[in-house]
Amino acid sequence: MPTLTAAPHPAPAPAAPPAAPAPPAGHRNTDRTGAPARPGLGRLGPNWYAVVMGTAIVATGATAVPVGPPGRTGFAAAVWLVAVAALAAVAAARAVQLVRHPGAVRAQLLDEPATAVFQGCPPMALLAVGHATLVAGAPVLGTRAAVTADLVLWCAGALYAVAVAAGVPYLMITRHRIPAREANPTWLLPAVAPLVAASAGSALVPHLPEPWRPVLLYTGCGLFGAGLFGVALVLPVVFAGLVHGRLAPVLTPSLFLVLGPLGQSTTAAGGLADAARTAAPALAGPGRALSVLYGVAVLGFALLWLVPAVAANVRALRSGMPFAMTWWAFTFPVGTLVTGAAALARHTGFGGFAGLSAALYALLLAAWAVAAVRTAAALPATLRAGAAPRPAAAGAPEPVRNP
């Protein structure tokens, strides 16, 4: 059974150092804290937050789809609880990793460019669970508690998103060295995080006291611009890398990540237009018209991109593409298309968008089920690998670079 690795596409490893002398019998590898080095936990990467994102968007999508079977409220609440549990588990594991294996955490950010871009996942996980708490968890918690929880998670996630959206490009400019031909869609993750913050923040606006509504509205607009132009800067480089380089088979699912900024910006534009009705009424009409024009155009391109993305993944599956955490790329980006199409249906009244949202949600459910089942099946082997003692003969310190 395959095990789950922390980063699906590692950066090229540096030249091997001279062989170290054999350690004495009974030697155990340790991190610089002195704790035993465990491959499973030591290699846990920020991409594990994709599980949280992909689960939370299933709950959010269930509440957003304009049409569907009865019982969606209960289903959304149940999936929201799973997302909360997943967030707690991954956050706890990362906290333990930070204490026991700080060298691995530092290297993932500073020395592993292929892993560093996944730092965009943690803030998006916070934001996704917060928004799901508001729209799907309110029947369980009550509206007031749901708003409070969402506000806390949004503040943490938005600040985190800005730090990542600025910090990762800074590292790419000053420290990381990656040939442009190796660019792939995972590079978009840091830039998408502010778009998720803008979308999630717009839903909070009507629940805030009157003086704070314009503050959050215009903050959301600023985050929308930061994410949109960040994506516009990176996307041409990513496409050039896809055309001139060779995408590793395990990274083929990352083609779906291109859908993320498209669907999320459509969702954010519609949400900000709705928020303007209570925060800046004079902008509500123009904002709604602009969101429809923008959303229809962007959603059109998203559906176009969906065709080669699906075709490439079918081809890779037929060629034996192995399961990896990249399969979670099938979930959250498709979920943003669900919420984006739902926003267009809400603003236009056109039934075609409602039907499209429902069809995309069916695709999301199928993708989430496959990714969740395969992850659950591989998790025990991963935990056993992490707990197993390393051979005494392997005396060199445990590498922090993911396999």
Query: Residue 135 — very low, low, confident or very high, per pLDDT cuts 50/70/90?
Result: very high
Q: Tell whether the model's pLDDT for residue 89 goes beyond 60.
A: yes
Q: Tell whether the model's pLDDT for residue 12 goes beyond 70.
A: no
Which has more pLDDT, 62 or 390? 62
Query: Residue 4 — very low, low, confident or very high, per pLDDT cuts 50/70/90?
Result: low
One DSSP character per residue, 163-232 reads HHHHHHHHHHHHT----GGG--GGGGHHHHHHHHHHHHHHHHGGGS-GGGHHHHHHHHHHHHHHHHHHHH
The span from the CA of 360 to the CA of 64, in Å, is 12
Q: Tell whether the model's pLDDT for residue 36 goes beyond 90.
A: no
The span from the CA of 150 to the CA of 209, in Å, is 15
Q: Tell whether the model's pLDDT for residue 25 goes beyond 60.
A: no
Q: Tell whether the model's pLDDT for residue 364 goes beyond 90.
A: yes
pLDDT of residue 42: 64
| Upper half-sphere CA count for residue 66 (Cβ side, 13 Å) | 18
Q: 237-272: per-residue pLDDT in tens? A: 999 999 998 888 999 999 999 999 999 999 999 999
Measured in degrees and rounded to the nearest 5, phi and psi for residue 76 equal -60, -40
Secondary structure of residue 30 in the 3-state scheme = strand
One DSSP character per residue, 287-302 reads HHHHHHHHHHHHHHHH
pLDDT of residue 383: 62
Query: Residue 23 — very low, low, confident or very high, per pLDDT cuts 50/70/90?
Result: very low
Query: How does the average pLDDT of the chain come out, rounded?
Result: 86
pLDDT of residue 112: 92
Which has more pLDDT, 14 or 344? 344
> What value does the mean pLDDT take over residues 266-289?
96
Neighbours of 149 (CB within 10 A): 18
> What value does the mean pLDDT take over residues 379-383?
71
Q: Is 278 exposed, middle or buried (0-12, 13-18, 19+ CB in 10 A)?
A: middle
Measured in degrees and rounded to the nearest 5, phi and psi for residue 159 equal -65, -40
Query: Residue 120 — very low, low, confident or very high, per pLDDT cuts 50/70/90?
Result: very high
pLDDT of residue 151: 97
Q: Tell whether the model's pLDDT for residue 31 goes beyond 60.
A: no
